[in-house]
């Protein structure tokens, strides 16, 4: 079975406006992982899941998925979270295309709850978005996306592993909201958690060379910075 946007756009042409604006915004953000390709993957999964869930309001689900990671365009995401700041940005975009208050409110709930952190998904549209986004992290392929996240957020390998392991454990404990997402996952998120734990174990126990830093090469820890900006009176160590 294939899933298309055409009929939904025919029913509400403003969805195309949101699609084009979202595509423009993500292109401007130019991120390695949280870009329009990721949004398209989530949107496809959301349409797959929605086909098994009735009734679904597509004029809420589709903008919700399209705008769910728009919060990365605001530097405030580092402190407030991209889910929380993204809801405000999504609301402004929707209003500019003439969406009314109830729709804006429902889409904002989808964006705010897509991580299950700022709030938990309560509507079927928010639950589908949550599941579609969690499925991006299920299976071995997520390790490739992980490399892109490390680049995008400037994390160390250890920081990335600690955060991803914590997030995957929480998602596994919570479970998926929809039966279709559980079927698509088929245990793959647990498989990814095992792989992340294996990499963490490897880099902590046997392959320290993968996480070595510049400091590890110097007995005198002030040496590297002294070479970059020489300090008067600096004397090289033994």
- Which spans of this chain sit near Fe ion (rule: CB under 5 A)? 69, 133
Please name which of 131, 5, 20, 119 lies closest in space to residue 59, comparing C-alpha atoms. 5
Q: Smallest distance from the beta carbon of 160 to Fe ion, in angstroms?
A: 16
Residue 125 or 133: which CB sits closer to Fe ion? 133
DSSP conformation class of 98? T
CA gyration radius, the chain: 21
Q: Smallest distance from the beta carbon of 68 to Fe ion, in angstroms?
A: 6
Residue 21 or 42: which CB sits closer to Fe ion? 42
Contact predicate 129/82, CB 8 Å: no
Q: Smallest distance from the beta carbon of 131 to Fe ion, in angstroms?
A: 12
Residue 69 or 131: which CB sits closer to Fe ion? 69
Q: Smallest distance from the beta carbon of 133 to Fe ion, in angstroms?
A: 4
> In degrees, to the nearest 5, what angle opens at C-alpha 71 toward C-alphas 68 and 76?
155
Burial 116-147, CB ≥16 within 10 A → b, else e: bebeebebbbbbbbbbbbbbebbbeebeebbe
Q: Smallest distance from the beta carbon of 129 to Fe ion, in angstroms?
A: 9
232 φ, ψ to 5°?
Answer: -60, 130
Strands (E), the chain: none
Q: Smallest distance from the beta carbon of 55 to Fe ion, in angstroms?
A: 24
Contact predicate 90/107, CB 8 Å: yes
Residue 5 or 81: which CB sits closer to Fe ion? 81
Residue 41 or 203: which CB sits closer to Fe ion? 41
Question: DSSP characters for 153-203?
Answer: HT--HHHHHHHHHHHHHHHHHH--SSHHHHHHHTTHHHHHHHHHHHHHHII
Residue 23 or 211: which CB sits closer to Fe ion? 23
């Amino acid at each position: 079975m294939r899933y298309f946007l055409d009929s939904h756009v025919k029913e509400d042409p403003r969805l195309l406006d949101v699609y084009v604006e979202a595509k423009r915004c993500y292109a401007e953000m130019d991120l390695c992982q949280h870009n329009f390709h990721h949004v398209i993957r989530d949107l496809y999964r959301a349409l797959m899941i929605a086909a098994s869930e009735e009734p679904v309001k597509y004029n809420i689900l589709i903008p919700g998925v399209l705008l769910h990671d728009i919060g990365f365009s605001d530097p405030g995401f580092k402190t407030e979270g991209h889910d929380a700041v993204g809801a405000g940005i999504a609301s402004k975009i929707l209003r500019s295309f003439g969406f009314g208050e109830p729709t804006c409110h429902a889409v904002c709930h989808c964006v705010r709850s897509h991580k299950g952190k700022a709030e938990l998904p309560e509507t079927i549209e928010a639950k589908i978005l949550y599941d579609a986004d969690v499925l991006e992290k299920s299976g071995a392929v997520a390790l490739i996306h992980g490399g892109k996240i490390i680049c995008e957020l400037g994390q160390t390998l250890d920081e990335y592993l600690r955060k991803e392991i914590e997030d995957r454990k929480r998602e596994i404990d919570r479970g998926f909201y929809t039966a279709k997402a559980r079927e698509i996952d088929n245990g793959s998120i647990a498989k990814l958690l095992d792989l992340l734990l294996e990499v963490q174990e490897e880099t902590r126990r046997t392959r320290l060379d993968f996480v070595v830093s510049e400091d590890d090469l110097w007995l005198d820890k002030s040496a590297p910075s002294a070479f970059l900006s020489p300090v008067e009176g600096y004397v090289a160590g033994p």
